[in-house]
Structure 1
Amino acid sequence: MTMTFREEYAAYVAEHGRPDRVELMLCDLNSVLRGKWLPGDDEAKLADGAVRLPISTYAPNILGEEVEATGLGITVGDPDGRIVPIPGTMKPVPWANSHVAQVQIEMLDPDTHALSQLSPRQQLANMVDRFHARGLNPVLATELEFYLFQPRTDMDAAPVPPERSPTAQNYDLEVLERTQAFLDDVLSASKAQGLATDTLIAEFGPGQFEINFHHTDDVLAAADTGVWFRRLVRGVARVHGMEATFMAKPYAGFPGNGMHVHASVVDDAGKNIFDAGGEVSDTLKAAVGGVLDTMRDAQAVFAPHMNSYRRFQPNSFAPSAPDWGFDNRAAAVRLPEIKGPGARLEHRISGADVNPYLAITAILGGMLHGLDNAPTLPTPLDDPAASPAAPLTDNWSAAVERFAASDFIRDTFGDRYQRIYADVRRDEISQLTTEISQVEYRTYLGRL
């Protein structure tokens, strides 16, 4: 039975004491957490629905500005939505310098008084409901990569790896030992917040790490974990006098940061529908075909920002075409296991800069598309007879326009969310691509 917020707050205070403040966190379209600080003795205000935010807070651009084309914000009076806490999300913030708690929040639609469909989390909840309506339950695990780097005084400066970071540190145990204090605090904070961390490794790039999370049938919690973990890592890094980033491609010459999603589906009897006991099952083939068939339409979700598209250029160390294979990390979709309870697909296209709610919604939507339509599956990359798939686009604008015109996206997210998401991305494109870069000044200004 779900506790009320008052009960959850009282249970938190009984275990940890009363916090000095509670940070109310709302995840926007860009996966940026926005919200308010609530005094620790003012929990009744949140419990009684007396805390509000503008409903437009769900859909600003990456700079935090409202986008007029969305029809939200001051053009319609910027109305408020009433904040409601998400049950089970009140957690301590161990890296804070005082007693701080956090609570994830949503807003109610001012007209319907239901949870707003502008919420990325609610978009994922809608997709999970589609599976449940069929007697199916998705099971997920995610992997997240990030870079640790030296602190900057100039926000325009490029990142500099931690001292003594080898340029190829893949699985290097000494790298883990040298950063043990930071990593121990990351794991400790994850435990305090109930994040289901699994293995942690040194990844290829200098100062790059990867964390794996346990599989769960609580799909919303799996996505929450991705959002919370990014905030947690950046916060712990600051305490250690460092910075951390989940930017898709912070270094031109080293691998980018990805978010890999392992996905299987069980029926109401608890059986993995991808398990046929031997060869690749028809259901697993269909799900793989579905995510490949819809990958181009959803690329603007898997690669939301300008920097994201550097992972889709030659020699970027990341999959860049809608292809698949068995134990093949060059593939966009990998099948680590094809039989037993662990039969699943691994979706490897997303950068770590994605909104986890939206990315997982698109992946699950692609799987449903495959189960319904069984698209033709290309030859796996492991087969010598395989022909290379045409690459995904490295053109940000082209990806957004394909997203905006897609029937699959409209069915997955709804017409309004499709339009708002595209409008926010177009605004970001307009702002960032019209700015003259330092490389242009360095190359052309003194020579032409």
Structure 2
Amino acid sequence: MDAVCSDLVAEVRAFRQRFLDVRYVDLISLDIPGHFYGKRYPVEMLEKVAAGSALKLPQNCVLLGTQGGLFKIGDYCFNDGDPDAPRRLVPGTLKIVNWEKQPLGQMLITSSGTEKPIVFEPREVLAQVLERLAGKGIFPVVAFELEFYLFDRQLRDGLPQFARDPLTDDADDQPNMHIERLSRFAPVLDEMVETARAQGIDTTVITAELGPGQFEINFGHLDDGLRAADWAALFCRSTRGVALKHNYRASFMAKPYLQHPGSGMHVHVSLYDEAGNNLLAANDQQPLRHAVAGCLELLPHCMPIFAPNHNALRRLSGTVNVATRASWGFEDRDACLRVPESDAKNLRIEHRLAGADANPYLVLAAILVGLEQGLETGRQPIAPLNEDRSSGINFPLEMLEAVQSMQHNAQLREGLGAEFVNVYCENKRQDHLAFMQDINAREYRWYL
């Protein structure tokens, strides 16, 4: 038994000794649309997997559409025999699930690091980008911020309802950023934070956001990009579960209300060398400007990642603090790329465009490819918004146009992998077409 297996076996045994009433563990991984799939294993079988027994799931689980269906993508799904692909346990991710009625465990799995990685698995795509950067002496430090809404648990005519204020039982329908909202919703918010920390997630600042029932959670900075994305993905899963316990729905939908702000995924990224020097701060911050230029040039071709569905594109419609063009600025929340005020050690870029329902592994991978190419080409960016409020680069706001722009971009095909780009774009194209195959009530009102 090698050292990795020994450590995994020790992790499983320690978990079993601590949580004697846990009988099953969910082995989970994120698919392309950002949903978890996996298997529920008896905990005694998990120890065998940790010791080296085979762990396989269908390769095409990664390709599921938003509604769980399979699309014909090249030879995948319908002409490949639906083969199994090996997975491995991700060390350090075996944690308790305390929002279910029966105690469970959960643990991340991935094809990354197996003898046959799935090139279009989101975690593997990010792993390859990080490995390439490390080979160039570039080491990112990353922190995610996620916005989300609380709704009443019961829908009305299929539509979400404002969350009920637990103190007054009235609908929390007043947009504000008042600190009192944190107090009123403290029971559910506190359990969300405690549950996240039980999964090893370093949750930090909580903010009551502008929308009714809208909140933001910040995570600590990590020098492990994979773990940073793991935290974002796992937080979404646990937060939804905790909300249901408290008779709410927690949603990371990018634009649930047309009249209120959408929910974003903000990603802070700084880049360091092996000695711990901030690469962006060198040479009077010229690398920062080069990195910004690379990100902005690539951003229009990454829109299917940053806004992965029809609703996410709605968020980019000119509401407060959401950019409608690829732009940047110092301490400017209207920009796609904001450079927060900081010292040279902590100089970073905050990428603010992605919707909260985007896939965190792919969002980070796309951002890093833009930064990487900016550093290599060394071009100067367009003027910051601080100097010119009209500065910016147009990006597509319609899914099929965005997919075409992504699929044929040579830089993305090289940076993320050509096979991934092909598979992802076809998945988004088919998902969008499936979504459009429905006539809603408004069409009948307008055109019948």
Q: What TM-score do you get using the length of structure 2 for normalisation?
A: 0.93
Q: Does 1:419 align with 2:422?
A: yes
Identify which range, 90-99 or 113-122, moves more after superposition. 113-122
SS of 2:279 mapped into structure 1: coil
The alpha-carbon distance between structure 1 residues 403 and 257, as it changes in their structure 2 partners (threshold 3 A), is same
Q: Return the alpha-carbon distance in structure 1 between the equivalents of residues 92 and 290 of structure 2.
A: 35
Partner of 2:167: none
Task: Assess if the C-alpha contact under 8 Å between 1:54 and 1:80 holds in 2.
Answer: yes
The equivalent residue for 2:68 is: 64
Does the CA contact (< 8 Å) of 1:259 and 1:348 recur in 2?
A: yes
What is the Cα deviation at residue 71 of structure 1? 2.2
Q: 1:89 aligns with which of 68, 89, 93?
A: 93
Q: Helix, strand or coil: the match of 1:297?
A: helix
Q: Could you tell me how far apart the structure 2 residues matched to 1:14 and 1:234 are?
A: 28
Are 2:15 and 1:20 equivalent residues in the alignment? no
Q: Could you tell me how far 1:434 is from its partner in structure 2?
A: 2.8
Q: What is the one-letter code of the residue matched to 2:36?
A: L
- Cross-structure match for 2:174: 167
Whole-Å separation in 1 of the counterparts to 2:138 and 2:41: 39
Classify 1:338/1:181 alpha carbon distance in 2 versus 1 (closer, same or farther; 3 Å). Answer: closer
Q: How many residues align?
A: 439
- Give the letter aligned to residue 247 of structure 2: G
Map of 1:342 onto structure 2: 346
Aligned to 1:397: 400
CA distance in 2, matches of 1:358, 1:335: 21
Structure 1 residues 268 and 233, CA gap change in structure 2 (3 angstroms): same
- 1:61 shift after superposition: 1.1
How far off is 1:154 after superposition? 6.0
User: Are residues 1:313 and 2:317 paired?
Assistant: yes
The structure 1 residue matched to 2:293, chosen from 283, 289, 292, is 289
Residue-by-residue CA offset, 1:294-348 (whole Å, 9 max, x unaligned): 0001111111111111012233651121111101101111100353211011101
- Give the distance between the partners of 1:121 and 1:404, measured in 2 at CA: 20
Distance 1:153 1:312, change over 3 A: closer
In structure 2, the partner of 1:36 is 39
What is the CA–CA distance in structure 2 between the aligned matches of 1:428 and 1:116, rounded to whole Å? 21
Out of 186, 193, 202, which is 1:187 matched to?
A: 193
Deviations 1:25-47 (A, max 9, x none): 01101110001111223224533
User: Which of 208, 214, 217 is the equivalent residue of 2:214?
Assistant: 208
RMSD, aligned α-carbons: 1.9
Q: Distance in 2 between matches of 1:69 and 1:81?
A: 17
How do 1:42-121 and structure 2 match up within 5 A? Answer: 42-47=45-50, 48-107=52-111, 113-121=115-123
Whole-angstrom CA distance in 2 between matches of 1:237 and 1:386: 40
Equivalence for 2:127: 125
* 3-state SS of 1:149 partner: strand
Counterpart position of 2:160: 158
**Structure 1 residue 236 corresponds to structure 2 residue 242:** yes
Letter in structure 2 aligned against 1:65:
G
Q: Which runs of 4+ in 1 moved over 4 A?
A: none
Deviation at 1:442, TM superposition (A): 3.1
Gaps of 5+ in 2: 165-169
Match of 1:245 in 2: 251
CA deviation vs aligned residue, 1:45-74 (integer Å, no higher than 9, x gap): 533434432100011111111111242223
Alignment partner, residue 351 of structure 1? 355
Question: Do the aligned partners of 2:139 and 2:223 also contact (CA within 8 Å) in 1?
Answer: yes
Partners of 2:296 and 2:393 within 8 A in 1: no
Q: Are 2:151 and 1:144 equivalent residues in the alignment?
A: no
- The C-alpha deviation readout for 1:364-415, integer Å capped at 9, x for no partner, is 00000100012331111011x4533243222111111101111111012111
Which stretches in structure 1 are left out of the alignment for 5+ residues?
none
Corresponding residue SS for 1:312: coil
Task: Tell me, in whole angstroms, the C-alpha distance in 2 between the residues paired with 1:50 and 1:348.
Answer: 40
**35-44 or 215-224: which moved more?**
35-44
Percent identical residues: 34
What is the rounded CA distance, in whole Å, between the counterparts of 1:70 and 1:182 in structure 2? Answer: 45
Change (3 A) 1:320 1:388: same
Describe the SS at the equivalent of 1:35. strand
